[in-house]
Amino acid sequence: MPEFELIDRYFKSRARSRPDVLLGIGDDCAVLQPPAGMQLAVTMDTLVAGVHFPLNTSAQDIGYKSLAVNLSDLAAMGAQPAWAMLALTLPDENETWVDAFMQGFDELARQYQVQLMGGDTTRGPLSITIQVTGFVEPERVLRRDAAKMGDRIYISGTLGDAALGLKKCLQKIPPQFSLPYCVQRLNRPIPRLELGRALLDVSHCAIDVSDGLLADLGHIIKASHCAARIELVRVPLSDDLKKYYGSNPDWPAIIAGGDDYELCFTVAPENEKCVQAISRELNLALTCVGDVVAGEGIHCVDQHNKEIVFTQCGYNHFANPAS
Ligand code: ADP
Ligand code: MG
């Protein structure tokens, strides 16, 4: 099928129609009308087969996840999603694959009224790049450099499920444990967009946990020139994860494994009541795991207040493989 037919059939036909997309797929550029007085929040993420998802991931899950990880970045800023661009590199003209990929993409796009308004289609090893744009009121955003000494550190949902799901997909878990919830968390992360918007009233500082808590909270404390104290016993774990690990949770995997896409945010103690109200309203656990303190680095302590030191600190694509 010629490239333009593929574009018409699978990308153009599926696009939502937002009134602020004046010209969508089909011309040399899209033409967009941002709402008066709003600023744009823009982000892009690439997913490479075998690096960002196991090779056995379904096309539908890849379509869903490629958009979800981008929307998660908008969530971490408190932005309202609007537009997406998709650069797709495909090894061959597999229409069935593209159709399933777009079904997954569209599930989320529909849920958040995101319009696909352009992109590029090329041939090569499977890779997906998505760029999304959202709206924010002037300077009303959740930034990494806005944590303050004395703030409490919160996490949405639970951590570690996706890392365990990944082990399952890579067949590193005995077959009697099917772990469907963890696999779902790996392949279908939920971008915490409603939470990000709600946090604008109570917080100035958030990040989405894509590379593990240690790495991502590390970005916050570095940018905010402070340190963090984390109580491991408070880190929220799902029932499935607890059941699998029993009394011996794999802490490095839980706090340094990636792909959770929960939000880590800081709040002044006087705003903690509002955090619990947001938690009830969104029916989403928001758990305090520690405090922003003076100094440097992240200090994890166990139930006896003894510091536990972790050497590995999240996924780094350019890390020296020998180190
Ligand atoms: P050009 O050669 O002028 O860059 P293309 O043939 O690459 O144009 O694309 C034609 C139209 O199809 C453009 O509007 C482009 O944004 C859109 N498009 C191409 N690939 C994709 C894709 N994977 N997803 C969404 N839109 C796409
Ligand atoms: Mg092009």
Cβ of 131 below 6 Å from ligand 1: no
Nearest CA to ligand 1 atom 1: 28
Pocket test for ligand 1, best of 25, 46, 62, 83 (most atoms within 8 A of CB): 25
- Report, as an integer, the average pLDDT of 205-234: 98
Residue 320 has pLDDT above 60, yes or no: no
Residue 137 has pLDDT above 50, yes or no: yes
Give the pair of three-digit tokens for residue 265: 């945010």
C-alpha 7 – ligand 1 centre gap (Å):
7
Query: What's the predicted TM-score (pTM) here?
Result: 0.95
Quick: pLDDT tens for 252-283. 999 999 999 999 999 999 999 999 999 999 99
The pLDDT-based confidence of 311 (bands split at 50, 70, 90) is: confident
Start-to-end CA distance of the chain, whole Å, equals: 46
- Report, as an integer, the average pLDDT of 288-296: 97
C-alpha 120 – ligand 1 centre gap (Å):
5
Whole-number mean pLDDT of the chain? 94
Q: State how far the Cα of 103 lies from the Cα of 63, in Å rounded to an integer.
A: 7
C-alpha 121 – ligand 2 centre gap (Å):
7
- Minimum-distance ligand to the CA of 128? 1
Question: What confidence score (pLDDT) does residue 139 get?
Answer: 87
**Nearest Cα residue to 196 out of 269, 264, 276:** 264
Question: What confidence score (pLDDT) does residue 318 get?
Answer: 65
Count of Cβ atoms closer than 10 Å to residue 216 Cβ: 22
C-alpha 118 – ligand 1 centre gap (Å):
6
C-alpha 288 – ligand 2 centre gap (Å):
47
Residue 314 has pLDDT above 80, yes or no: no
The pLDDT-based confidence of 323 (bands split at 50, 70, 90) is: very low
- Report, as an integer, the average pLDDT of 81-98: 96
Nearest CA to ligand 1 atom 22: 119
- Report, as an integer, the average pLDDT of 153-163: 98
The pLDDT-based confidence of 64 (bands split at 50, 70, 90) is: very high
Cβ of 121 below 6 Å from ligand 1: yes
Q: Could you identify the atom of ligand 1 that is nearest to the CA of residue 4?
A: 6
C-alpha 30 – ligand 1 centre gap (Å):
10
Give the pair of three-digit tokens for residue 235: 């880190």
More confident call, 295 vs 316: 295
What percentage of the chain reaches a pLDDT higher than 70?
A: 96
Cβ of 27 below 6 Å from ligand 1: yes
Q: Assign residue 295 a region: left if phi > 0, alpha if psi is -120 to 50, beta otherwise?
A: left
Cβ of 119 below 6 Å from ligand 1: yes
What percentage of the chain reaches a pLDDT higher than 90?
A: 90
For the beta sheet containing 298-301, the strands, ordered from the edge strand earlier in sequence to the opposite edge, are 205-209, 262-267, 152-156, 286-293, 227-231, 298-301, 307-308
Q: State how far the Cα of 79 lies from the Cα of 134, in Å rounded to an integer.
A: 5
Question: What confidence score (pLDDT) does residue 302 get?
Answer: 94
Where does 52-139 show beta strands of DSSP type E? 80-90, 115-123, 127-136
Question: What confidence score (pLDDT) does residue 322 get?
Answer: 40
Nearest CA to ligand 1 atom 8: 28
- Minimum-distance ligand to the CA of 12? 1
Q: State how far the Cα of 259 lies from the Cα of 282, in Å rounded to an integer.
A: 21
Q: State how far the Cα of 240 lies from the Cα of 306, in Å rounded to an integer.
A: 27
Residue 313 has pLDDT above 70, yes or no: no
Quick: pLDDT tens for 22-57. 999 999 999 999 999 999 999 999 999 999 999 999
- Minimum-distance ligand to the CA of 115? 1
Express the helix, strand and coil content of the chain in percent, nearest 5 each.
35, 25, 40
Cβ of 89 below 6 Å from ligand 1: no
